[in-house]
């Protein structure tokens, strides 16, 4: 199996290299056979990497401890579910997953474009081929999962207990696929730049790929936030940890890209922006891999450290240099003759969106690499605290949310003030109403949070009216029932109405985060069994301490009674401190969730003989709504990216109202006569 794995990796490397070299030859000569053969190389690499991945799975399942990777990340008692999940627990396997999924995406792109975009495909093949060859080389030469040990151990070291969570099957995979997916718009942007086909065809061709990449990256990040909250026991979901930032950077630029391309499709503008954003999103996902994998920064994701930093940073720099070079070379053709007609228009609001996202990217980027730079220059490692990010990102996020509320109401080119006033009246009234009511209820406290909530209500009102108007139009113009109109709204114009759903989710999530950050309460105390502490009116009593011994772990379990303001019982919470054999000590968070707030209990430093423990209790308001917002975001993304079949016969008819000549039989083709 080890032999087969190594052989498959080698073949994949050769095949990817072949795709690059022959793809270049084909692009120059334009010979169809040569180009197809290069594409065959890419497909062959996908096949070989699939075999390599399968070989690793077999080795893991067999618990073949002769293989270093298997010995490092599995053990005899590890369940099958997590044994397969150990595939991407370490660097070598993660890189193999990267390369494998990229090869599958590449093969998928070649398949869907087998009979279209033929002018772009040689360069798409070459670009994806270069990235694939690079990652396959990393797996084969630097970080090979099939490396064997001279003396196989009797048992493996086992999987990090923090990774023994079903999240191991969601979070890393979604993130990797998201990162990998951004290679597709990158490859098409490069192809468009090289060939000079700078219209919107490349953008439309990669729209679905990009949307899915975005959805997966978003889901990966959000799921990671939730996983951190549930598992890590510090009562938060986002800490501006460098590795979190590494995933946020390509997300921010990718999000800007998704917005910006709309303007090129509608008005042929922002072409420089779009190629730059496509290249930027890809570069940042490589840079993110560098940040995570190079060990240059310390982070909670410390298990990811290693020494493939040099090739990764070299690749990042090469991408930036080549991308910038291509854009500069094509700059004269990229300039659009169209200018923004009015300061207040849909176009200008999209430009503002781009600027906001780029500003957020720069804030996150600077905060992330500042410690590295100071360490390099002054030899001191300074860390940039959460206040830096929070103070800069919060206002930018609020402005972005406000823009979400106004932008859908603006018309292309020029806005009529009367139209805008009419559309804004109801949302503004809703926002103002929410503000007044909440201010009165809170007697003037928490004005900042209430402001954010009121803005959120305003934006939600805009989005709702936007969808309602779309539904009404469908009902009036096409005579559809409400449910039919709802389905068709998404089926015929998925992005137009998937967008508002995503935006609604973002607003819900950000408003809930504002409430959570503003009103979170934290208490810590050393409690003996029988003692209690009080958090925001709720009393948490340490009622009992018990033990649990299983083959893989030894756990101390704290039982906590929760009582309300008037002493009414609200249930029990169970928090754990567990020691896994041969692994570090971990705490299992105990939680009681309601729509209004979570009660979050962490027990540590347990002294079983004195029956004393350090107990940390958080009252986390609105956390449920953060998760709700996340679900809505992902749902909206899926709605927008879903391959709705609108070309089915019978469904396009009334939509298009084609000229009557379409129904006439066409004259016989000349040649047949």
Distance CA 127, CA 16 (A): 11
Residue among 331, 190, 187 at smallest CA distance from 272? 331
Quick one: 19 or 177, whose CB is closer to other proteins? 19
Q: Pick from 28, 62, 116, 585: which binds other proteins (CB under 8 A)?
A: 116
Q: Pick from 145, 185, 470, 498: which binds other proteins (CB under 8 A)?
A: 470
Quick one: 37 or 563, whose CB is closer to other proteins? 37
Quick one: 339 or 378, whose CB is closer to other proteins? 339
Q: Pick from 152, 236, 268, 311: which binds other proteins (CB under 8 A)?
A: 268
Dihedral of alpha carbons 181, 187, 188, 193, sign: positive
Check binding of 652 to other proteins (CB under 8 A).
yes
Task: Determine the interface stretch with other proteins among 296-304, 529-537, 612-620, 645-653 (rule: CB under 8 A).
Answer: 645-653
Q: Find out whether 524 and 616 touch, Cβ atoms under 8 Å.
A: yes
Distance CA 220, CA 285 (A): 13
Shortest Å distance, C-beta 29 to other proteins: 13
Quick one: 448 or 658, whose CB is closer to other proteins? 658
Q: Find out whether 446 and 519 touch, Cβ atoms under 8 Å.
A: yes
Shortest Å distance, C-beta 672 to other proteins: 5
Shortest Å distance, C-beta 569 to other proteins: 53
Distance CA 77, CA 83 (A): 10
Distance CA 229, CA 238 (A): 8
Q: Pick from 336, 532, 534, 581: which binds other proteins (CB under 8 A)?
A: 336
Residue among 86, 15, 80 at smallest CA distance from 50? 15
Q: Find out whether 123 and 191 touch, Cβ atoms under 8 Å.
A: yes
Shortest Å distance, C-beta 336 to other proteins: 7
DSSP for 544-588, please give it.
EEEEEE-SSEEEEEEEEEEE-TTS-EEEEEEEEEEEETTS-EEEE
C-alpha distances out from residue 274 to 264, 581, 637, Å:
8, 52, 20
Distance CA 604, CA 586 (A): 9
What's the first-to-final CA gap in the chain, in angstroms?
63
Check binding of 64 to other proteins (CB under 8 A).
no
Task: Determine the interface stretch with other proteins among 91-99, 364-372, 381-389, 653-661 (rule: CB under 8 A).
Answer: 653-661
Distance CA 86, CA 165 (A): 11
Under rule CB under 8 A, which residues in 142-181 are in contact with other proteins?
none
Quick one: 551 or 665, whose CB is closer to other proteins? 665
Q: Find out whether 261 and 281 touch, Cβ atoms under 8 Å.
A: no
Quick one: 22 or 515, whose CB is closer to other proteins? 22
Check binding of 421 to other proteins (CB under 8 A).
no
DSSP for residue 443: T
Check binding of 655 to other proteins (CB under 8 A).
yes
Site string for other proteins, 5-44 (x = CB under 8 A): --xx--x---x--x-------------xxx-xx--xx-xx
Q: Find out whether 560 and 656 touch, Cβ atoms under 8 Å.
A: no
What does the longest C-alpha to C-alpha distance in the chain come to?
101
From the number of C-beta atoms within 10 Å of its C-beta (0-12, 13-18, 19+), residue 13 rates as buried
Q: Pick from 51, 284, 453, 463: which binds other proteins (CB under 8 A)?
A: 51
Check binding of 348 to other proteins (CB under 8 A).
no
DSSP for 532-545, please give it.
EEEETTEEEEEEEE
Check binding of 672 to other proteins (CB under 8 A).
yes
Q: Find out whether 313 and 295 touch, Cβ atoms under 8 Å.
A: no
Shortest Å distance, C-beta 35 to other proteins: 8
What beta strand segments (E) does 568-671 contain? 569-580, 585-588, 590-593, 597-607, 612-621
Structure tokens at 432: 């103002």
Task: Determine the interface stretch with other proteins among 127-135, 297-305, 397-405, 650-658 (rule: CB under 8 A).
Answer: 650-658
Shortest Å distance, C-beta 76 to other proteins: 24
Shortest Å distance, C-beta 566 to other proteins: 52
The label of the residue with tokens 């795709």 reads 19
Q: Are strands 521-528 and 532-535 parallel, antiparallel or unpaired?
A: unpaired
Quick one: 48 or 281, whose CB is closer to other proteins? 48
Shortest Å distance, C-beta 504 to other proteins: 17
Structure tokens at 507: 């607003």
Structure tokens at 196: 């000079």
Task: Determine the interface stretch with other proteins among 237-245, 352-360, 373-381, 662-670 (rule: CB under 8 A).
Answer: 662-670
Shortest Å distance, C-beta 417 to other proteins: 13
Check binding of 585 to other proteins (CB under 8 A).
no
Check binding of 204 to other proteins (CB under 8 A).
yes
# residues near other proteins by CB under 8 A: 65
Site string for other proteins, 481-500 (x = CB under 8 A): -----------xx--x----
Quick one: 145 or 280, whose CB is closer to other proteins? 145
CA angle 88, 93, 94 (to 5 degrees): 60
C-alpha distances out from residue 348 to 89, 121, 316, 354, Å:
45, 33, 31, 10
Quick one: 584 or 661, whose CB is closer to other proteins? 661
Task: Determine the interface stretch with other proteins among 210-218, 290-298, 408-416, 515-523 (rule: CB under 8 A).
Answer: 408-416
Shortest Å distance, C-beta 43 to other proteins: 5
Shortest Å distance, C-beta 409 to other proteins: 9
Shortest Å distance, C-beta 419 to other proteins: 6
Quick one: 37 or 614, whose CB is closer to other proteins? 37
Distance CA 101, CA 596 (A): 41
Shortest Å distance, C-beta 497 to other proteins: 9
Quick one: 114 or 565, whose CB is closer to other proteins? 114
Q: Pick from 63, 66, 208, 413: which binds other proteins (CB under 8 A)?
A: 413
Q: Find out whether 93 and 74 touch, Cβ atoms under 8 Å.
A: no
Check binding of 466 to other proteins (CB under 8 A).
yes
Contact residues: other proteins, CB under 8 A: 1, 3-4, 7-8, 11, 15, 18, 32-34, 36-37, 40-41, 43-44, 47-48, 51, 114-118, 199, 201, 204, 265-268, 336-338, 346, 410-413, 419, 423, 466, 469-470, 473, 477, 492-493, 496, 646-647, 652, 655-656, 658-659, 661-662, 666, 668-672
């Amino acid at each position: 199996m080890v032999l087969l794995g190594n052989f498959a990796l080698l073949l994949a490397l050769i095949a990817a290299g072949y795709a690059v070299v022959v793809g270049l030859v084909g692009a120059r000569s334009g010979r169809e056979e040569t180009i197809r053969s290069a594409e065959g190389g890419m497909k062959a690499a996908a096949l070989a990497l699939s075999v390599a991945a399968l070989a690793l799975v077999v080795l893991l399942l067999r618990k073949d401890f002769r293989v270093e990777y298997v010995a490092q990340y599995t053990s005899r008692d590890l369940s099958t579910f997590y044994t397969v999940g150990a595939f991407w627990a370490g660097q070598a396997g993660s890189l193999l997953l990267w390369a494998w999924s990229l090869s599958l995406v590449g093969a998928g792109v070649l398949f869907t474009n087998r009979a279209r975009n033929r002018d772009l495909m040689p360069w798409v093949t070459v670009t994806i081929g270069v990235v694939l060859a690079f990652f396959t080389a990393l797996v084969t030469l630097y970080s090979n999962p099939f490396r064997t040990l001279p003396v196989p151990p009797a048992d493996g070291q086992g999987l990090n207990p923090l990774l023994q969570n079903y999240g191991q099957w969601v979070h890393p995979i979604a993130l990797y696929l998201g990162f990998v997916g951004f290679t597709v718009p990158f490859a098409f942007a490069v192809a468009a730049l090289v060939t000079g086909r700078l219209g919107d065809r490349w953008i439309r061709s990669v729209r679905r790929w990009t949307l899915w990449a975005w959805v997966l990256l978003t889901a990966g990040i959000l799921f990671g936030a939730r996983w951190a909250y549930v598992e890590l026991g510090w009562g938060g979901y986002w800490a501006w940890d460098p590795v979190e930032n590494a995933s946020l950077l390509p997300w921010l630029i990718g999000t800007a890209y998704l917005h910006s391309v709309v303007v090129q499709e509608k008005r042929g503008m922002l072409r420089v922006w779009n190629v730059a954003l496509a290249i930027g999103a890809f570069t940042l996902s490589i840079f993110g891999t560098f940040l995570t994998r190079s060990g240059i920064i310390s982070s909670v994701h410390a298990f990811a450290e290693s020494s493939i930093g040099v090739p990764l940073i070299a690749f990042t720099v090469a991408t930036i240099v080549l991308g910038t070079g291509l854009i500069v070379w094509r700059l004269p053709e990229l300039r659009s003759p169209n200018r923004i007609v009015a300061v207040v228009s849909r176009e200008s609001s999209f430009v503002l969106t781009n600027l906001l996202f780029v500003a957020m990217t720069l804030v996150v980027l600077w905060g992330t690499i500042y410690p590295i730079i100071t360490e390099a220059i002054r030899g001191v490692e300074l860390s940039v605290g959460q206040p830096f990010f929070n103070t800069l990102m919060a206002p930018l996020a609020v402005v972005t949310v406000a823009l979400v509320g106004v932008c859908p109401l603006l018309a292309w080119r020029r806005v009529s003030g009367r139209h805008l006033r009419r559309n804004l009246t109801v949302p503004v009234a809703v926002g103002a109403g929410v503000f007044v009511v909440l201010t009165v209820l809170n007697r003037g406290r928490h004005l900042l949070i209430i402001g954010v909530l009121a803005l959120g209500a305003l934006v939600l009102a805009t989005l709702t009216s936007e969808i309602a108007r779309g539904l009404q139009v469908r009902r009036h113009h096409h005579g559809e029932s409400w449910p039919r109109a709802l389905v068709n709204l998404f089926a015929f114009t998925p992005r137009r109405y998937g967008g508002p759903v995503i935006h609604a989710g973002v607003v819900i999530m950000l408003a809930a985060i504002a409430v959570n950050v503003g009103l979170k309460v934290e208490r810590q105390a050393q409690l003996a069994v029988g003692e209690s502490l009080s958090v925001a009116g709720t009393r948490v009593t340490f009622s009992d301490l018990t033990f649990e011994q299983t083959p893989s772990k030894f756990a101390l379990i704290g039982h906590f009674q929760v009582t309300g303001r008037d002493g009414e019982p609200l249930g029990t919470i169970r928090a754990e401190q567990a020691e896994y054999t041969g692994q570090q000590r971990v705490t299992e968070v105990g939680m009681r969730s309601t729509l209004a707030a979570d009660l979050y209990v962490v027990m540590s430093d347990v002294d079983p003989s004195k029956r004393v423990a350090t107990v940390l209790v958080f009252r986390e308001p609105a956390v449920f709504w953060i998760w709700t917002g996340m679900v809505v975001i992902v749902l909206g993304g899926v709605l927008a990216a879903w391959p709705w079949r609108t070309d089915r016969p019978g469904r396009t008819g009334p939509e298009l109202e084609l000229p009557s000549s379409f129904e006439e039989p066409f004259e016989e083709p000349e040649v047949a006569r």
